[in-house]
Structure 1
């Protein structure tokens, strides 16, 4: 309500001045001003009394009232803009979890896909958090292409006063690992933004690293002591989100109904049609969604690797920084990826093999890129025998076995209790040894009707 000569004792000029002032005040300032005016009125009444003791008493009352009416003003939290670049839904899923967590602790969060965000508004953001994947040869996802191009162009604004952090998703088997995230991180800094927390680059097994990034970002903006409370809450938030549906941490054990070779006898191809029973599965799938399978390495390859290492299959080996242990055979079968080499794997191996030739080779980036093509961990052990390698070192070298994603080739409307996929068996010979696809040949040679396979659905909102 605006003051005027008809609803207040003020003149028109006074009412105009007061109205203009009130429009500039925050709620906290209005509360303080209200207390000040009440206290000042009491002080004025007290000074009209001729008794000095009353003046002193009123002065003390005034001081007390001013202290009581003066609010504790907390700095307003900065507005958060959370943008994601996602091709298959992983980055979007993490962004949605992070947005929910930030909102639950009182932050004002705007969550958008990058193609829903107007690039010219970049100069107006306060805290900017980016979660993005990388496609192909270091390219941004389709919904991140416009913003990626904008910040690298002449029209990109200066971003002094903006704080940011980037979570990048990628795959270490590709040369341009997490390149889009690296691009955003570097360019935002060049435009003058302040890096609130260091960029985190996630491999295909991204969940643990993503949890830590979220916890540390929240710890940074909220100054929680040592980050323990924030990290615990975020982990619980992601865990509860996962428990709402089947996931890598909580897969559904699907029974195989059919496993049929679609190619005729004598064909040089082997394409399998595989049907799974979804009894009491409780989730629907749509066109464009994927079925994710948790595979196992070929037992013959596992046996050859254990023989090469010279270790006992029953040896208990560490598989995480938390000290979790399982048998060597189980770890090489279901936990570690042993069929592909990556740049970080070679660099880690050089640190633990104590092999001078390997230490020299990994200094050459071009050599690494050529060597990892078509080779596996057994090749590395044979080409550069380790002088010192203990079972507890293995988890420092090998990455986790990635799940395999397959396009769904059935309709939920027609078969709500089943899901079908089509898988081409991968077999080839390179560097003097026969090789095979981990999951495709598992289906081709070792999975029969009646067996169960751990699976879960992966949404593709951008299909």
Structure 2
């Protein structure tokens, strides 16, 4: 990598005049618009307008209410909305998809004149659940059937003994998940079932949305909106309570469905070849991408979305195995493309999913595959999902497919998210990534990850379709005097490179503590030069390392947490923010357990008290995870 990349961060009509009695901060043109807007309005209209403006002010859109009436006039207090006339939408989201869908529904309901409130799950006041009359829950499932981090408290409350009877509640649930995992949409299913057990009335069937969530979410959202319109009177009949959910913001020119063609500036290995005895061709890259001309902005903690293309060799292997013509035209969903283009750019080949396995079992007439799909073979099915790709299934179980059937059965290709490893305050119109290149040998040949292989094999100057995925739950503290504890083994260290750059640029006075782990110190110490320079410069105040295979007994970051438990607890008691990034299936769970053990031991708490302590940190926004 170039030295600059690895160096330590340094760190037009005349305006009308205002009435003499009305002081105003508005410029003349805005005051002109206001006077023309209010001209000729009757008494009731003017009072409604003042209440509306007050609502905008409370929502943060600007303090304009005082312009509608003289300062001596009594304020109009909007009455609290009655719960039987309100729609509550609660979302739990790890990657942002559930949040986006919940916001979309809230916006549609608001535009229809309904009284609606939108809440992230950890902001939902559980004491109000017993009084709810109309509730929609949009929630994702992570990894092996885990809830999103922002939803753990609400899920525990609903499942626990304190959950109230909900005989007056009407509800519906939209679950999001990934059918390449065994516990597909299990959290949405649990919430839906539990609300029913508590006596609530299910308005319509739960939606279980896969990665191509629009297929399920679009009709679900429309049904949800229609049901809400039926159940609620439009809030326009209570005009003083109409308050926008949030100030309107201009949509970015480039986003998930309209990505920016970004130039690849640098593609450098961070790890030596043959560094790991178990994975001899382990390959981790530092990628630098230009955002110049895009208008895209990010903060440390955000992700860069990459729209991948499947490796050409993989596409050809599928075509050869099924004896299909890649140039044959295939029409699907109103779009006609050559089969090769469908498989290259539009369909998922590197991840298996239950629906495709079930479909191939039918095409191959395979009793073995059908047995794996049965509930009593969950462990074997999970192993198949974790270790196989579409081509493996096609090669092991011979089945006849037409081009049209294949395109219809495969999942749409979806973007991959990478934690951004930089701060724009340091790198400007660039985004840096830390990418583990997925490439390995199987019995049937070489296998790759779609996006990681695209990035690792891309040449400088090549253009890549990208967008920004914001993550407001994973941010450096707004108070720069707060300490931060960052736990990021492997490529999980990526966002913390951006965190340290950001805090150095801001002149934050709080201390920075990094815990990093990987197999070997000599070959796997990602950004070693930067971290050591930051430590020497006082920009990194504490660095704990865990290189698991440099000694007979394996040592991981959770072991370092145990060793440093006293310091960990003291930092947390002093107001530190705690962050974890990386693998969800093992690391995050082991780290969570180590945190609980340290808090219990050094805080003098029992198991339940330690859980409560950590949950409270999470509610305060002081314990955040970005796990995948």
Instruction: State whether TM-score is above 0.5.
Output: yes
Q: Does 1:269 align with 2:282?
A: yes
Q: 2:219 aligns with which of 212, 218, 222?
A: 212
Q: 1:312 aligns with which of 325, 328, 339?
A: 325
Once the two structures are TM-superposed, the CA of residue 437 in structure 1 deviates from its matched residue by 2.0
Q: Does 1:384 align with 2:386?
A: no
Q: Distance in 2 between matches of 1:361 and 1:323?
A: 34
Q: Which runs of 5+ in 2 are unaligned?
A: 1-82, 232-247, 276-280, 475-628
Per mean C-alpha deviation after superposition, the further-off stretch among 254-263 and 161-170 is: 254-263
Q: Does 1:118 align with 2:131?
A: no
Once the two structures are TM-superposed, the CA of residue 175 in structure 1 deviates from its matched residue by 1.4
Once the two structures are TM-superposed, the CA of residue 270 in structure 1 deviates from its matched residue by 2.2
Q: Distance in 1 between matches of 2:163 and 2:157?
A: 6
Q: Distance in 2 between matches of 1:245 and 1:85?
A: 27
Equivalent pair of 2:130/2:166 in contact (CA under 8 Å): yes
Q: 1:461 aligns with which of 472, 494, 499?
A: 472
TM-score normalised to structure 1 length:
0.74
Q: Does 1:345 align with 2:356?
A: yes
Once the two structures are TM-superposed, the CA of residue 364 in structure 1 deviates from its matched residue by 5.9
Q: 2:339 aligns with which of 323, 328, 344?
A: 328
Name the counterpart of 2:148: 141
Q: Distance in 2 between matches of 1:176 and 1:190?
A: 21
Secondary structure at 1:254 match in 2? strand
Cα displacement string for residues 278-304 of structure 1 (whole angstroms, at most 9, x for unaligned residues): 122112100100001011111011111
Once the two structures are TM-superposed, the CA of residue 411 in structure 1 deviates from its matched residue by 1.2
Q: Does 1:252 align with 2:263?
A: no
Secondary structure at 1:372 match in 2? helix
Cα displacement string for residues 340-360 of structure 1 (whole angstroms, at most 9, x for unaligned residues): 222222112234445566455
Q: Does 1:300 align with 2:313?
A: yes
Q: Distance in 1 between matches of 2:301 and 2:253?
A: 18
Name the counterpart of 2:603: none
Q: Distance in 2 between matches of 1:163 and 1:131?
A: 15
Equivalences for residues 159-178 of structure 1 within 5 A: 159-178=166-185
Q: Distance in 2 between matches of 1:416 and 1:210?
A: 37
Name the counterpart of 2:106: 99
Name the counterpart of 2:304: 291
Cα RMSD over matched residues? 2.4
Equivalent pair of 2:84/2:132 in contact (CA under 8 Å): no
Once the two structures are TM-superposed, the CA of residue 252 in structure 1 deviates from its matched residue by 0.6
Equivalences for residues 430-449 of structure 1 within 5 A: 430-445=442-457, 447-449=458-460
Change (3 A) 1:381 1:404: same
Q: Which runs of 5+ in 1 are unaligned?
A: 1-75, 225-239
Cα displacement string for residues 15-60 of structure 1 (whole angstroms, at most 9, x for unaligned residues): xxxxxxxxxxxxxxxxxxxxxxxxxxxxxxxxxxxxxxxxxxxxxx
Change (3 A) 1:327 1:154: same
Cα displacement string for residues 281-338 of structure 1 (whole angstroms, at most 9, x for unaligned residues): 112100100001011111011111101111111111234xx33221110111111111
Q: Distance in 1 between matches of 2:264 and 2:200?
A: 53
Once the two structures are TM-superposed, the CA of residue 207 in structure 1 deviates from its matched residue by 3.2
Change (3 A) 1:382 1:283: closer
Change (3 A) 1:452 1:102: same
Per mean C-alpha deviation after superposition, the further-off stretch among 344-353 and 389-398 is: 344-353
Secondary structure at 2:425 match in 1? coil
Change (3 A) 1:377 1:436: same
Once the two structures are TM-superposed, the CA of residue 245 in structure 1 deviates from its matched residue by 4.5
Once the two structures are TM-superposed, the CA of residue 86 in structure 1 deviates from its matched residue by 1.8
Secondary structure at 2:196 match in 1? helix
Change (3 A) 1:260 1:330: same
Once the two structures are TM-superposed, the CA of residue 361 in structure 1 deviates from its matched residue by 5.2
Q: Distance in 1 between matches of 2:389 and 2:381?
A: 13
Q: Distance in 1 between matches of 2:318 and 2:202?
A: 44
Once the two structures are TM-superposed, the CA of residue 419 in structure 1 deviates from its matched residue by 1.2
Q: Distance in 2 between matches of 1:139 and 1:384?
A: 32
Name the counterpart of 2:548: none
Q: Distance in 1 between matches of 2:376 and 2:249?
A: 40
Q: Does 1:200 align with 2:213?
A: no
Change (3 A) 1:373 1:431: farther
